[in-house]
Amino acid sequence: MTEEQCLNPLLVNCVLPPAIIYAFCYSIPECVTQIYENTYFQGGDLSMVFTPNVNYCQVVCTYHPMCLFFTYLPATWTNDPTKRFSCYLKDSDTETLPKVDMEGAISGHSLKQCNIKISACSPDVYKGLDMEGKNYDVTMADTYQQCQKRCTNDNHCQFFTYASETFHNASLRKNCFLKHTTLGTPTNIRVLDDVVSGFSLKPCQLSEIACNSRTYVNMNFLGEELNVTYAKGHKACQQVCTDMIRCQFFTYFPLQDSCNEERKCKCHLRMSSSGSPVEIVHGGGRISGYSLRLCKKKASTVCMQHSEKSIRIVGGTDSSPGEWPWQVSLHVKLSRQRHLCAGSIISNQWILTAAHCVVSLENPNIWRVYAGILKQSEIKEETPFFKVEEIIAHPQYKFAQTGYDIALMKLDKPMNFTDLQLPICLPSKEDANTLYTNCWVTGWGYRKERGRVEDILQKVTVPLMSKEECQARYRDRKIDDKAICAGYEEGGRDACKGDSGGPLSCKHEEVWYLVGITSWGEGCARPRQPGVYTKVVEYADWILEKTM
237 shares a domain with 177: no
153 shares a domain with 24: no
What's 173's DSSP letter?
A: T
Give a yes or no: residue 117 inside a domain. no
Quote the pLDDT of residue 522. Answer: 64
- 19: which residues sit within 8 A by CB, 6+ positions away? 49, 60, 63, 64, 183, 184, 185
The pLDDT tens digits of the residues spanning 488-510 come to: 776 544 445 557 899 999 998 77
- Written as one letter, the residue type at 342 is A
514 shares a domain with 366: yes
Give a yes or no: residue 304 inside a domain. no
Q: Which of 393, 342, 335, 339 is nearest to 364 (CA)?
A: 393
Q: Are 109 and 44 in contact (CB under 8 A)?
A: no
Give a yes or no: residue 454 inside a domain. yes
**Of 130, 154, 405, 431, which residue is the catalytic one?**
405
Give a yes or no: residue 410 inside a domain. yes
What's 414's DSSP letter?
A: P
278 shares a domain with 420: no
**Distance set, CA 9 to CA 13, 49, 63, 126, 153 (Å):** 8, 18, 12, 28, 21
Average pLDDT, the chain: 83
**Of 86, 200, 500, 505, which residue is the catalytic one?**
500
In this prediction, residues 320-340 reach a mean pLDDT of: 90
DSSP secondary structure of 294-344:
TS-HHHHHGGGS--S-----SSSEE--TTSSTTEEEEEEESSSEEEEEEEE
**Which domain range does residue 231 map to?**
215-297
How many domains is the chain partitioned into structurally?
4
The pLDDT tens digits of the residues spanning 373-408 come to: 899 988 888 888 999 999 999 999 998 888 899 999
Partner residues linked to 169 by β-bridges = none
How far is it, in rounded angstroms, from Cα 422 to Cα 444? 19
Q: How far is CA 455 from the centre of its chain?
A: 35
Quote the pLDDT of residue 312. Answer: 29
- Residue 234: active-site member: no
For the cut 90, the answer to whether the pLDDT of residue 223 exceeds it is: yes
What's 12's DSSP letter?
A: S
Q: Are 238 and 270 in contact (CB under 8 A)?
A: no
207: pLDDT confidence band, cut at 50, 70 and 90? Answer: low
- Residue 243: active-site member: no
In this prediction, residues 347-352 reach a mean pLDDT of: 92
359 shares a domain with 268: no
- Written as one letter, the residue type at 374 is L
The pLDDT tens digits of the residues spanning 409-438 come to: 999 988 888 778 889 999 887 777 788 989
Q: How far is CA 430 from the centre of its chain?
A: 19
480 shares a domain with 351: yes
- Residue 500: active-site member: yes
In this prediction, residues 125-152 reach a mean pLDDT of: 92
249 shares a domain with 222: yes
The pLDDT tens digits of the residues spanning 224-265 come to: 999 999 998 998 899 888 877 688 899 999 998 899 988 899
Give a yes or no: residue 485 inside a domain. yes
For the cut 80, the answer to whether the pLDDT of residue 300 exceeds it is: no
332 shares a domain with 248: no
Angle made by CA atoms 170, 176, 180, in degrees to the nearest 5: 130
Angle made by CA atoms 183, 187, 193, in degrees to the nearest 5: 135
91 shares a domain with 53: yes
The pLDDT tens digits of the residues spanning 514-533 come to: 999 999 876 554 666 788 99
In this structure, what CATH number is given to the domain that contains residue 287? 3.50.4.10
Q: Are 372 and 325 in contact (CB under 8 A)?
A: yes
For the cut 50, the answer to whether the pLDDT of residue 1 exceeds it is: no
Per-residue 3-state assignment (H helix, E strand, C coil) for 351-409: EEECHHHHCCCCCHHHEEEEECCCEHHHCCCCCCCEEEEEEEECCCCCCHHHCCCCEEE
Of 204, 231, 246, which residue is a domain's last?
204
Q: Which of 372, 404, 401, 405 is nearest to 386 (CA)?
A: 372
In this prediction, residues 268-282 reach a mean pLDDT of: 86
Q: Are 385 and 412 in contact (CB under 8 A)?
A: no
**Of 268, 339, 356, 394, which residue is the catalytic one?**
356
